[in-house]
Structure 1
Amino acid sequence: MKKYYVLLLTLIFIGLILLIKTNAINGFDSMIGEELYTIHDEPFLLLVNWVGMLGSTQGIISVLFLSMILFILVKKSFLVPALLFLSVLLGNIGNKLLKAIVARERPSFVSHIEEGFSFPSGHVMVGLILYGMLAYYLVKSSQQKKTKQTIITGISLVLVLIGLSRLIEGEHFLTDVIGGYITGGLMLVGFISIDKFLHRKLERSKISQDAAM
């Protein structure tokens, strides 16, 4: 079943690229973006912008290295920190490659703080990879169902607000954000599969060593 979801998301992503390259969705994207850019609710904007910083380069790097240090200290293992670092690194490289291939300009209705192309959103894509991996490891190590649900709900809310912040700030179109969720989700599935594979190999190796003793 997971393979079908991966295939479906891949097809949707390709469809988004075709819509963007043929300018079939740009009018709709601009309309949604302009509406969201006019939101002036200060408390809400403060919350969205603050949480949105978790998807920025500084936010990602800070959370990544703090998480790596904590996993090394608590779990006494370098495998998880290494996978976290690798996932963020490859996610960032993948995002830059996709942006260069699609070469979509950022929304024109606002002057931009950031430079570069727009699709897919790097904040959303890399943020989903990092926070998705953290959620996976935290849920994996938790025993209580309620704790697992809280972790998933909390991380999901953060990821939604990161995407919303990119729209409200006018840095991205809606399809950029959707594309970021799709590509980030696909890469997340891949990295989780790699983690499971490596841990299975380590477990088998440990069992073999114990049997030999």
Structure 2
Amino acid sequence: MNSYIVLLLAVSILLLLIFNIKTSRRFNLFDHWLHHQLVKKHDGYKWQVIAFINDPKLMVVWDVLLAGLLLNEERNLTAIWVLGTLGFADASGIVMKKLIRRRRPIMHSDIENGYSFPSGHVLGATTMGLILLQLFAKEFGLIFIIGIVALWVMVIISRLSLKAHYPSDIVGATSLAIVCFSISQQLFLAF
């Protein structure tokens, strides 16, 4: 029951963001203002390292490595679920970027290209974090959970600090990751 409420809430937030990004000048002005308030200093090196480690293409490598470890433990269905969950989230993010076509903030790095909404880095980090928590939180406990959440927060800060995204891009990516993870989890539990 709770997973359906979380899914409904994430879908509602995502749809509300998309609607406002596409139609509300006031919302976009607020998002630009908030971005400017959150990003005062362009302190790039440490955040570039975090961004690199969580690059969407590299996240696929981490996902394949995790699936390989699961296959080695003869957890074949779980390995397929891990690959399918990130694949579903990434494909959804790519489609959404092409449909929304939101430009990146003016001051973003020349390294960044493509559209801004949703953040691919945050989408991948959130999805992978949810996968890791689902698989290992009970086994490794509170320290593991805190570590995953800390890394996720660092990814968010890196995307804002590098001026690659607006705050709504981060919230949208997080919502999309929760939607994709929830759907994938329900399909996995059905088997």
Q: In structure 1, what residue type is equivalent to 2:69? A: L
Q: In structure 2, what residue type is equivalent to 1:30? A: H
Give the corresponding residue for 1:8. Answer: 9
Candidates 136, 149, 153, aligned match of 2:146: 153
How far residue 180 of structure 1 moved from its aligned partner, in angstroms, is 0.4
Query: Structure 1 length normalisation: TM-score?
Result: 0.79
Candidates 28, 31, 34, aligned match of 1:29: 31
| C-alpha distance in structure 1 between counterparts of 2:17 and 2:124, whole Å | 19
Identity %: 23
CA contact 2:82–2:131 (8 Å) conserved in 1: yes
Q: What whole-Å deviation, never above 9, does each CA across 1:171-211 have from its counterpart, x for those lacking one?
A: 1100000100111011112222222222xxxxxxxxxxxxx
Higher relative CO (Cα under 8 Å, sequence separation at least 6) belongs to 2
CA contact 1:102–1:119 (8 Å) conserved in 2: yes
| C-alpha distance in structure 2 between counterparts of 1:58 and 1:101, whole Å | 21
Taking only aligned residues, the RMSD between alpha carbons, in angstroms, comes to 2.1
Q: What whole-Å deviation, never above 9, does each CA across 1:126-160 have from its counterpart, x for those lacking one?
A: 221122112211125x2xxxx32222221111111
Q: What whole-Å deviation, never above 9, does each CA across 1:56-98 have from its counterpart, x for those lacking one?
A: 034302311221222222x223212211111111111100111
How far residue 165 of structure 1 moved from its aligned partner, in angstroms, is 0.8
- Specify the structure having the higher radius of gyration (Cα): 1
Runs (5+) with no aligned partner, structure 2:
none
Q: Tell me, yes or no, if structure 1 residue 38 matches structure 2 residue 40.
A: yes
Give the corresponding residue for 1:203. Answer: none
SS at 1:25 equivalent: helix
Q: Tell me, yes or no, if structure 1 residue 173 matches structure 2 residue 166.
A: yes
Give the corresponding residue for 1:18. Answer: 19
CA gap 1:72/1:193 in 2 versus in 1, 3 angstroms? same
Greater shift after overlay, 157-166 or 2-11? 2-11
Aligned residues: 189
How far residue 110 of structure 1 moved from its aligned partner, in angstroms, is 3.1
CA gap 1:112/1:25 in 2 versus in 1, 3 angstroms? farther
How far residue 31 of structure 1 moved from its aligned partner, in angstroms, is 2.5
CA contact 1:64–1:84 (8 Å) conserved in 2: yes
Give the corresponding residue for 2:49. Answer: 50
| C-alpha distance in structure 2 between counterparts of 1:103 and 1:49, whole Å | 24
